[in-house]
């Protein structure tokens, strides 16, 4: 299941940004997942929960935003929803020179975290 390697990569990227920024806990991550990315959202959510254990992301919510696959025909400039299985020939002119515009995305869109509490030295510690 490659969703586990994706989840581990997301956790690694978020941790590498969160720790130096002083994050105490990560609450949520928004991830765009293209229709043609080959990712099963339920498997990714399950893997993400396991990958977060013992990190600043433990308990974080993974929000996946699906991105529909769309293509454009070079000769006639028609655009269409590719769908699954992918239809890559132009429905307008029948041309086979489609350019895929969207649907392969797999990217972190946003991360929400709380900063770690700042330790203020007491009078005795100064």
| Interatomic CA distance for residues 74 and 96, integer angstroms | 9
Cα–Cα distance, 30 to 72 (Å, whole number) = 27
Backbone angles phi, psi at 65, to 5 degrees: -110, 115
Q: What is the pLDDT along the chain (126 residues), one digit of tens a residue?
A: 699 999 999 999 999 998 888 888 899 999 999 999 999 999 999 999 999 999 999 999 999 999 999 999 989 999 999 998 899 899 999 988 899 999 999 999 999 998 765 555 665 665
Single out the residue of 57, 54, 6 nearest to residue 28, CA to CA.
57
Q: What is the pTM of this model?
A: 0.80
Distance CA 68, CA 75 (A): 22
Token pair in block for residue 26: 């990560």
């Amino acid at each position: 299941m490659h969703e586990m390697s994706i989840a581990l990569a997301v956790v690694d990227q978020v941790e590498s940004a969160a720790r130096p920024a002083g994050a105490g806990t990560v609450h949520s991550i928004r991830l765009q997942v293209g229709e043609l990315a080959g990712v099963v959202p339920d498997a990714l959510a399950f893997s993400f929960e396991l990958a977060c254990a013992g990190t600043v992301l433990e308990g974080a919510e993974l929000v996946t935003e699906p991105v529909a696959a769309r293509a454009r025909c070079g000769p006639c400039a028609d655009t269409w929803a590719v769908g699954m299985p992918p239809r890559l020939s132009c429905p307008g002119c029948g041309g086979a020179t489609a350019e895929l515009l969207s649907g392969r995305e797999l990217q972190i869109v946003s991360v929400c975290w709380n900063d770690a509490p700042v330790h203020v030295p007491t009078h005795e510690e100064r």
